[in-house]
Amino acid sequence: MQRILSMVLGLTLTLGLATGCTAGKRMNVGRTAAALLISDQQEEQLGRQVKAELETKEKLKYVEDPAVVDYVRSVSAPILQAANRDRANVKWKVHVIDDPKTVNAFATPGGYLYVYTGLLLAAENEAELAGVMGHEAAHVTGRHSAQAMMLQYGQQAVLDAALGKNSGTVAKIAAGLAGTGTGLAFSRSNETEADELGARYVSAAGYDPRGLVSFFQKLAAQEGKMPGVLKWLSTHPASADRVSHLNAFISKNGLTGTNQGAGRLDPIKQRLRK
């Protein structure tokens, strides 16, 4: 089964490279291939199982301040609306994790999007926060999260986990996401596609699409100085090639957006620092 999975996902990448697909076309090929392996309903079930494990075993603590939660959800709403144009059946659930020392965000199958308060504190403006959320949302619309889980743990193990039959796999996935393991290992092509699609989503929401670029550059400059920064950089290396590619993609596709949102983010930071 693992061999079949690798062959299908390998064929997806080959088709994308051979046909010179754009981000949208590449995503359609990858999404179709992944749909043969795990259904939308199974992704939702898996996301729910992982959420339960994160809350019970990993003891994730959510922010209770409604002003902070409402703010994050208000920023994500137009981005996720844009993401639904690529995958309309995703029912997004946004959660804010109370951990100011960890600069991170991640998304799991089924549309579960998690944002750490450390990310809110590290972002210079709302466009940077939007860029990260757009990128993570793209991992779901492109089915990257499900693909990565199946390649790391095996298709049958992941399907059993979705059905509540394999608590061991769910525990490993949750531990990785929460920081005690390795997290999801996305391929380079997945990360490139998530960068491109995320830029489209935030631009459609009116945000400056170069927010993710400036965030990458900021984290790279602070690496080694802020231990919590390493969590996001460990799975999203801020290489010069990556930054250059994203800048070129934004320019080539005429992606625009002027909203920086610094005025809205600052009061939220003040609440979190109290």
Residues with active-site annotation: 136
DSSP state of 229: G
103, 231 in Cβ contact below 8 A?
yes
Helix (H) or strand (E) holding 108: strand 105-108
Q: What six digits make up the tokens of 67?
A: 């002003």
Nearest partner of 29 among 176, 144, 121, judged by Cα: 144
Would you call 258 exposed, middle or buried from its count of C-beta atoms within 10 A (0-12, 13-18, 19+)? exposed
Q: What six digits make up the tokens of 18?
A: 């051979």
Cα–Cα distance between 237 and 60 in angstroms, integer? 25
